[in-house]
Amino acid sequence: MDPGTTLVIEGVGAARAELRQWAAAAVWVQSDARSAREGGLARDVAEGRTADEAAAFWEEWMAQEIPFLERERPWLHADVVVKGAADSFAPAGSRWVWRGPLGSATG
């Protein structure tokens, strides 16, 4: 990669402890569990899984995701916290919360 090139890495694990030193900035998109699940299931079905397969995958994923979030607390290390759902909350210790898309501050 050429010097000065920007590389964007997406995913909840992108700001985990062992990668933070390499990140120029981290953005956390806060959502509520219901909206996240509905969106994840809809995405997986659109990509070809059956509803049952999507639900099973979601449960497997969350069995790993919840302990990761409890351990890493990535929102505490984010440079920006984006409010990704109407009823999402500002995580404790967050630096700023925006109501997406970026541009209209809420706190």
Q: For residue range 41-80, what is the model confidence (pLDDT) as tens digits?
A: 999 999 999 999 999 999 999 999 999 999 998 888 888 8
Q: What's the structural domain count of the chain?
A: 1
* Dihedral over alpha carbons 43, 68, 101, 81 (to 10 degrees): 170
Measured N-to-C along each axis, helices 51-72 and 33-46 cross at an angle, to the nearest 10 degrees, of 140
Q: Determine what percent of the chain is predicted with pLDDT higher than 70.
A: 78
Rg (CA), the chain: 15
User: Is the residue at 49 inside a domain?
Assistant: yes
User: Is the residue at 20 inside a domain?
Assistant: no
Whether 102 shows a pLDDT value over 70: the answer reads: no
User: Is the residue at 55 inside a domain?
Assistant: yes
User: Is the residue at 94 inside a domain?
Assistant: yes
Average pLDDT, the chain: 80
Query: Where do runs of H (alpha helix) occur along the chain?
Result: 33-46, 51-72
Instruction: Print the domain residue range for 53.
Output: 29-105
User: Is the residue at 22 inside a domain?
Assistant: no
Note the pLDDT of residue 84: 73
User: Is the residue at 21 inside a domain?
Assistant: no
- Band (pLDDT 50/70/90 cuts) for residue 96 is low
What's the pTM?
0.70
